[in-house]
Amino acid sequence: IMTCLFYPFVLLQYHFINENKSWDEAQDYCNNKHTDMATVSSMADMNRLRKHSGNKKAWIGLQRKANGIRMWQWSQPDVKFNESRDNKWDEGEPDNKDTENCGTLNTNKKWADLSCNRKKPFICYDGENVQSLNWTDAQSFCRDHHTDLISGPEQMEKLDEGNMKRLFPDSQDGFIFIGLFRDAWQWSDGSSFSFRFWNLQYDDEKNNSSCEALYYCRHHHHDLVTITNMDEQRWVQEKTKNASSPFVWTGLRYTCSLGFWFWVSDEVVRYKNWASPGQVNECDMSGAMETGGEHQWFKKHDEEKLNFFCFTP
């Protein structure tokens, strides 16, 4: 099932195609029969798409190619990131750590990259909020109650000094989230719209390697799931019943150099539910739970493509 678009003058017009195809097949279909796969440039577009598709899932034109380059963007779709203009980075920033994909403002009004999962005060366009949220929750709050996260140097130049001083004491290390983020997603028609509206719940149709799953969870949620007791085991079992792969990745990893299993959340592996505890441990292995049967854990090579389970504390 896919959504295509064509351009009558400037207004995007969507067509819901009730046929099951892969993303690549859907792209070919839309290119041949219409203009391209659907591009979503704003919340207004998103609401129009919902009317067309109802509660059905459908492909849109957003894709992330393997080894794609992460590009900095502003949360407000009508504010374009310009590398030559938007260069307010603090010394040594951005330091390009894999898990630091969201932008912050520090006490000297310079920018720094930070993990999107950290909880920080944030600034909305036409309003600020002193509560601390992770970046995606802060974006949702600003869109619900104001306009969006503050975006672009012109908006930040108008910040009130008094409001800034009031916000910074609530941030222990002096960082406040702004509407700056980076990702590797691109629209099929080549447009540069930065609008994103991710479903932050568990996605039972996404198959990734263990490393890709870890990156996705840390960027969009908090981390891959950790299971430390039977109650958590049962909870994950229930949540993974609709998975489309026979196993789902968990946050279990094996360190070859030290020779033991650990949770990526830094929890010690005390509770265990291995199907074959005597199976030989190898480098580049991670733990996956079977989605049927007794929901036991299996040792899988990192590059296998499986569904996965993220959690948000």
pLDDT attached to residue 283: 83
pLDDT attached to residue 266: 79
For residue 116, give the nearest of 75, 84, 155 by alpha carbon: 75
Weakly modelled stretches of the chain, pLDDT under 70:
1-12, 55, 66-67, 97-99, 127-130, 160-173, 199-207, 312-313
Q: Model confidence over 232-273: pLDDT tens digits?
A: 888 888 878 778 889 999 999 988 878 889 998 878 898 999
pLDDT attached to residue 312: 65
Which tokens is 297 given? 């854990």
Q: Cα separation of 41 and 58, whole Å?
A: 17
For residue 227, give the nearest of 262, 187, 192, 179 by alpha carbon: 262
CB 208 within 8 A of CB 293: no
pLDDT attached to residue 66: 63
Q: What is the CATH number of domain 210-311?
A: 3.10.100.10
Give domain limits for the chain. 2-60, 71-185, 210-311
